Structure 1
Amino acid sequence: MADDEDLNPKNHPTDNAEKDPDDWVTGDEPMTGAQRSYLKTLSEKAHDPDAYDEDLSKAEASKRIDALRSKAGLES
């Protein structure tokens, strides 16, 4: 039984917390509203308005958010 528990992803909630956006199943879908809002704010804080694009995918928005967080000095 212990082996079944080890295989249950609910027992390891952070295992893929840092999954590469290129590997996301839904990465090609349009970015979410939250991503859109945060990307807009970050592009303004980083003084890089060209980084914001309404037509980004979820994966591309995530990558730009990470880059802008670094540029704006907001890395975690």
Structure 2
Amino acid sequence: MTVNRTPEKDPRDWTTGDEPMTGPQESYLHTLAQEAGEQVPDDLTKVEASQLIDRLQEKTGRGT
């Protein structure tokens, strides 16, 4: 059994959270959004993208 030993940091506490979302975040968001029937804004920050990913994972069932 693998245990994640890295504590998850709240995205709002990220020092780079106000930077534009990363390429992988954008790609994954578009995949999730397509499955959820939603649109992804182009100008999200890393924090906003992370929060939207969490919401869309829950909506699509991918986060379980």
**TM-score, normalised relative to structure 1:** 0.74
Q: Percent identity?
A: 55
Deviation at residue 75 of structure 1 after TM alignment? 1.2
Which consecutive unaligned segments of at least 5 residues does structure 1 have? 1-12
Structure number with greater CO (CA < 8 Å, separation at least 6) is 2
Deviation at residue 48 of structure 1 after TM alignment? 1.4
Instruction: Tell me what 1:70 maps to.
Output: 58
1:23 lines up with 2:16 in the alignment: no
Which consecutive segments of 4 or more residues in structure 1 shift more than 4 A? none
Deviation at residue 47 of structure 1 after TM alignment? 1.1
Structure number with greater Rg is 1
**TM-score, normalised relative to structure 2:** 0.87
| Residue-pair matches, total | 60
Q: Output the aligned Cα RMSD.
A: 1.0
